[in-house]
Structure 1
Amino acid sequence: MKIRPAAVATAGLLVLGLAACGNSKSQSTGGSTDSGSASGTFTVSTNGCPADATKELAAGETIKIGTSQPLSGPLASAGLGINGVRAYFERINRAGGINGHKLELVAKDDAFDAARAVSNAQAFTGPEKVFANLMQVGTPAIRATQPIYEAACVPQLWAIATSATLGHDPAGHRWTANVIPPAPVESKAIADYIAQTKPGASVVELVGPEDLAKDFHASFPKAAKDAGLKVLDPQTVPAGATSVETQVAAMVAAKPDAVFLETQPNYCPGFLTALARSGYKGIIAVNSSCNGAGQWISPVDPAGDGLVTPMFRKDPADPRYKDDPAMQEYLKDLEAIGASKNAPVGNVLDGYNHAVLLVQNLKDAAAMKGGLTRANLMTAAWNTKISRPLELEPNNATAGPDDPYLVESGEIVQYSAATKGWTTKSKFAFEGKTNQFK
């Protein structure tokens, strides 16, 4: 990734090379996605697909969308994202649906377990006969279910994994698309921020047992060394651990200038409180899975005061966006389904934002030759052009194998326990080219 300097209003920091693909410059207000048709010409092959993959939905037929989520277990809070999907689906249905097709969400609990995700995928592609799967979470579950969706030619859309390649390979695995930037992008942004704040700093990683943590640990040490940082021995969290007190004590004992949390967000509150009890005064960085202030950080205030993290969308708990028109629309839509209490949760806004994206893909597919088919939906996803005002950079695009990464920019933000919100410290972006992370 090429680096060039750029000035930021709050800090002058290094920024990753700006995205090479042409993001849409069309604008929209609120949750509207009527920002134009798909952006490219890549067509998804239907070789080996069952006949129904290219069969147009009958007039008035419901568009059934499946989602397999951690609705129970330690990550159940993340599963609240289904409320955001439901809120936006209800908004579309109130307006008549998509070309007369109403949206229906079928949510199943996988408890963040790959085996249960497989069972759900078999049901979705079998008796449930979903039109697409939305928002599958985690590398193990996505890898385990990918062959099921591929065999059925059912779009596995806007999956959530920090892998650099999973869901970013339209040529090799055309039925799975990933919605978030990969771990190497966050690793570099965090390393650059630490280096700019304290040149030559020493840093310790807290590495979890999950694939997310492995993705960060595979990329952060190199990014840190390239930024001139000294990487100390990492601390690891054993599988099934419910506390990170021992690991945090060892991190602090190493007297690092900075610490970086590379775990799933359920460890975030304990990590912050343990650091606060130790009196640690260095730079605290956490990965973006922990960037929902109202969900993971504010409940342990003031322990997280001053921490930094990558951010790609507006945080619904951030008072900066209290009067934001798109945020007001989001809040109204959550209220309409009786889910206002969940509105400050970052994962709920994520679900809403992913639903906005899916609806645009469905509209684009409906306008294609052959109409609203699963194959056209997948083609639309790999040629997305959209403006989503709840993203920090609203204009996003994909262009098939030439540029399979949808979100290509973000910010390093700092949390304030006083405001319970964020301050932008720097901005970063990357060129979303295929295979650049291999």
Structure 2
Amino acid sequence: MTRTRRSLALTGAGLLLLGVAACGDTRSEGDAGGGGGGQTNAEGEFSVDTSACPEEATTELADGEPIRVGSSQPLSGPLAVPGAANVAGITAYFEKVNAEGGIDGHQLELVARDDAFDAARAVTNAQAFIGPEEVFGTLAQVGTPQINATIPIYAGACVPQLWAITTSPGFQDPEENPWVVNGIPPAPVEIQAIVDYIAEQVPGGSVTQILGTEALAEDFNAAMPGLAEEAGLTMQPPQTIPGGATNFDAQISAAVAGQPDAIVLAALPNFAPGFLTGLARAGYEGLVVLNSSANAAQQWISPSDPAGEGAVAPLFRKDPTDPRWDDDPAMQEYLADMEAAGQGELAPLGNALDGYGWGELMVQNLRDAAEMEGGLTRANLMNAAWNTDMERPLMLNPQATTSGPDDPFIAESGEIAAYSAETKGWETAMEWDYSGESGQIVGQG
């Protein structure tokens, strides 16, 4: 997206669900072939290089053939609930589109496989997707290690890896990784919003991070010190939650003992309730900052009421349980579509709305690809993703665009929002918009 930066402080389907199974591979294995980079034409449109792709990557989908979409999700393990919600949201949107006639006469089929948030299992799934499942593209792969492990497989087969979910800044370059595109702001962009907010609230203040052991924490810790220093903040030593720990009061106590002006949680959202209640027990009175993975208030924060009161998080999309959106037409449509698909029970979860949004993005990409020269091919689908231009009404900033290497970020704006225990929703504390600047932020991080 291309807009000016602002930082304003304010007051106050055919659905096919498959289990995990080891499958052979009948297509390119990823260690050979695959497109490398691409080129931008005079109109600024980026297209992937298909010179080393298998023939089927540029072969138009046959009339009436279904569009099979693979999604490797953590349907078991630490993120089982978010993974199931992601699938539910994608399912609902695909079923809606199928009921309306599909994409250019093609019905959508979702093939969801469990990777348990484990890179090795994600590889097994990827081999199945490019092999016997013969998917047209994949959607919403969760986690940096999982994406890293599967990029060579999908790139080697020239299968689009659309709207991956990762805080890593390493998947924003179509010239280096043309067959994968990220769907959320990378950690440096999110951290820029956080440090801008902290610096505005406590100029020259001090900050402590409480880190998990997963890639999200590594991404945050790699970017936070430099961006904080640039904002005039002082970083205190981080506290790391031991791997597998369910109690991290010792790390919270150590962080509070340093009397920082702000404590930031850089860990998966399942740590949010313990983080909030631990800080409340310790009597901490500074700024309490969550990361955007905890952006569903009633899912991750309300269970710790009233400890979450006033905690802030960077948001870039609407929260389905936030009372601010009760009368929002886009939210009402989302809830109705989830109910129609039999997924109403999961509709309040933020990850379900995320999945619905990933489905919406991919459907627009498919429609755009069908209008391109050569028709509905895998290569055109990837090209459409790198040249997205659409409205996404469930996002805080609905305008969504990408423009190849010039603007590879689909989400670059939002708000810092404060949790209200009274409403069990959010109140805007600061707006952020780094459109056109995200590449600079990532480079600094």
| TM surpasses 0.5 | yes
- Secondary structure of 1:57's counterpart equals coil
Change (3 A) 1:425 1:372: same
Is the 1:243–1:267 Cα contact (8 Å) retained in structure 2?
Answer: no
- One of 347, 353, 366 as aligned partner of 1:349: 353
Is the 1:165–1:437 Cα contact (8 Å) retained in structure 2?
Answer: no
One-letter amino acid of the counterpart of residue 82, structure 2: A
- One of 185, 210, 215 as aligned partner of 2:219: 215
Unaligned residue ranges in structure 2 (runs of 5+) = 13-42
- Secondary structure of 1:344's counterpart equals coil
Change (3 A) 1:120 1:5: closer
- Residues 27-59 of structure 1 deviation map (CA, whole Å, 9 limit, x = unaligned): xxxxxxxxxxxx952111111111110111111
- Give the structure 2 partner of residue 250 of structure 1: 254
Is the 2:412–2:438 Cα contact (8 Å) retained in structure 1?
Answer: no
Is the 1:295–1:345 Cα contact (8 Å) retained in structure 2?
Answer: yes
Change (3 A) 1:104 1:40: farther
- Deviation, structure 1 residue 9: 4.9
For 2:70 and 2:248, locate their aligned partners in 1 and report how far apart those are by CA, in whole Å: 35
Change (3 A) 1:5 1:410: closer
- Secondary structure of 2:318's counterpart equals coil
Is the 1:82–1:107 Cα contact (8 Å) retained in structure 2?
Answer: yes
For 2:4 and 2:372, locate their aligned partners in 1 and report how far apart those are by CA, in whole Å: 39
Is the 2:365–2:384 Cα contact (8 Å) retained in structure 1?
Answer: yes
- One of 33, 52, 70 as aligned partner of 1:66: 70
One-letter amino acid of the counterpart of residue 97, structure 2: I
More relative contact order, 1 or 2 (CA 8 Å, 6+ apart)? 1
Deviates more, 1:270-279 or 1:79-88: 270-279
Is the 2:89–2:338 Cα contact (8 Å) retained in structure 1?
Answer: yes
- Give the structure 2 partner of residue 54 of structure 1: 58
- Alignment pair present for 1:266 and 2:259: no
One-letter amino acid of the counterpart of residue 134, structure 1: L
For 1:243 and 1:371, locate their aligned partners in 2 and report how far apart those are by CA, in whole Å: 54
- Secondary structure of 2:52's counterpart equals coil
- Deviation, structure 1 residue 3: 9.5
Unaligned residue ranges in structure 1 (runs of 5+) = 12-38
For 1:276 and 1:396, locate their aligned partners in 2 and report how far apart those are by CA, in whole Å: 38
Is the 2:189–2:441 Cα contact (8 Å) retained in structure 1?
Answer: no
- Deviation, structure 1 residue 307: 0.4
Is the 1:401–1:434 Cα contact (8 Å) retained in structure 2?
Answer: no
Question: Which aligned pairs between 1:32-431 and structure 2 lie closer than 5 A?
Answer: 40-79=44-83, 80-166=85-171, 168-430=172-434, 431=436
- Secondary structure of 1:248's counterpart equals helix
Count of matched residue positions in the alignment of Structure 1 and Structure 2:
409
- Residues 351-406 of structure 1 deviation map (CA, whole Å, 9 limit, x = unaligned): 00111000000000000111111000000000110101000000011111111111
- Residues 118-168 of structure 1 deviation map (CA, whole Å, 9 limit, x = unaligned): 0000000000000111000111000000000001110000001111122x1
For 1:48 and 1:318, locate their aligned partners in 2 and report how far apart those are by CA, in whole Å: 48
For 1:75 and 1:4, locate their aligned partners in 2 and report how far apart those are by CA, in whole Å: 34
Is the 2:317–2:394 Cα contact (8 Å) retained in structure 1?
Answer: yes
- Give the structure 2 partner of residue 22 of structure 1: none
For 2:7 and 2:307, locate their aligned partners in 1 and report how far apart those are by CA, in whole Å: 32
- Secondary structure of 1:437's counterpart equals helix
- Secondary structure of 1:104's counterpart equals strand
- Deviation, structure 1 residue 78: 1.5
- Residues 245-288 of structure 1 deviation map (CA, whole Å, 9 limit, x = unaligned): 22111111222221000111121111111112222121100110
- Deviation, structure 1 residue 344: 1.1
Is the 1:405–1:432 Cα contact (8 Å) retained in structure 2?
Answer: no
- Give the structure 2 partner of residue 33 of structure 1: none
For 2:287 and 2:369, locate their aligned partners in 1 and report how far apart those are by CA, in whole Å: 46
Is the 2:67–2:107 Cα contact (8 Å) retained in structure 1?
Answer: yes
State the TM-score, normalizing by the size of structure 1. 0.90
One-letter amino acid of the counterpart of residue 422, structure 2: A
- Deviation, structure 1 residue 437: 2.3
For 1:3 and 1:369, locate their aligned partners in 2 and report how far apart those are by CA, in whole Å: 34
Identity of aligned residues (%): 59
Q: Which stretches of structure 1, 4 residues or more, deviate above 4 A after TM superposition?
A: 2-9, 432-436
State the TM-score, normalizing by the size of structure 2. 0.89
- Give the structure 2 partner of residue 25 of structure 1: none
Change (3 A) 1:406 1:55: same
- Secondary structure of 2:169's counterpart equals coil
Is the 2:297–2:424 Cα contact (8 Å) retained in structure 1?
Answer: yes
